[in-house]
């Protein structure tokens, strides 16, 4: 999204409020699937020769649980501030400032490295790979109750 900052650069005013939606595909990549438009609100102000960009971005994304590998949806509300030096960025900061990449970078660094679908996710059985949130498997009962494992051996012999 491109913001016109000519009034700031020309010092007609000292700050500018903005609000817009970014399409999910502008942010999504191979590691992140954004499901909703990203609601962006923010403010740009010129302080000496620096543009101070304050942004808040709200959206939902699909993540893969690092314990049970299932996909789940999580809501995010990310706030960040960036300072852009007008003198350092002569070629990129003109009268129009494109915020998409800035927002994208900040969203990506704020994504959890090991997302977990819920705090009490039970993960996958290390023996058979069953998702223990949805199914119980026999490996688990063998570990906790030897009597059940004897029973399951007997059942297997009957077959
Ligand atoms: Zn999980
Ligand atoms: Zn198992």
- Model confidence pLDDT, tens digit, residues 114-158: 999 999 999 999 999 999 999 999 885 555 555 555 655 666 665
CB burial string 53-81: b at 16+ within 10 A, e below: bebebebebebebebbeeeeeeebebebe
Domain of residue 131 covers: 122-159
Asked if 34 and 21 count as a contact pair (C-beta separation under 8 A), the reply is: no
Nearest-ligand number for the alpha carbon of 135: 2
- Residues 42 and 20 grouped into a single domain: yes
Is 12 in the same domain as 83? yes
Same structural domain for residues 18 and 83? yes
Q: How many domains does the chain have?
A: 2
Q: Residue 127: nearest ligand to its CA?
A: 2
Ligand nearest to the CA of 65: 1
Question: Alpha-carbon distance 152 to 112, whole Å?
Answer: 41
Q: How far is the CA of 11 from the centre of ligand 1 (A)?
A: 51
Q: Which of 157, 61, 146, 152 is nearest to 112 (CA)?
A: 61
For 30-73, how does the pLDDT look when each residue is reduced to its tens digit (9 = 90+)? 888 999 999 999 999 999 888 999 999 999 999 999 999 999 99
The reply to whether 137 and 69 lie within a common domain is: no
Cα–Cα distance for residue pair 34/58, rounded to 1 Å: 11
For the entire predicted model, the pTM comes to: 0.76
């Amino acid at each position: 999204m491109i913001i016109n900052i000519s009034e700031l650069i020309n010092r007609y005013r000292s700050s500018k409020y903005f609000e817009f939606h970014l399409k999910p595909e502008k942010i999504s990549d191979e590691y992140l699937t954004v499901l909703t438009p990203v609601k962006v609100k923010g403010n740009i102000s010129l302080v000496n020769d620096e543009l101070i960009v304050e942004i808040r971005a709200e959206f939902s994304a699909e993540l893969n649980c690092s314990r049970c590998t299932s996909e789940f949806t999580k809501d995010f509300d990310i706030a960040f501030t960036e300072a852009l030096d007008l003198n350092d960025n002569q070629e990129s900061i003109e009268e129009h400032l494109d915020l998409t990449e800035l927002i994208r970078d900040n969203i990506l660094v704020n994504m959890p490295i090991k997302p977990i679908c819920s705090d009490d996710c039970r993960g996958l059985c290390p023996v058979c790979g069953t998702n223990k949130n949805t199914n119980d498997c026999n490996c688990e009962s063998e570990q906790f109750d030897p009597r059940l494992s004897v029973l399951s051996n007997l059942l297997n012999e009957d077959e």
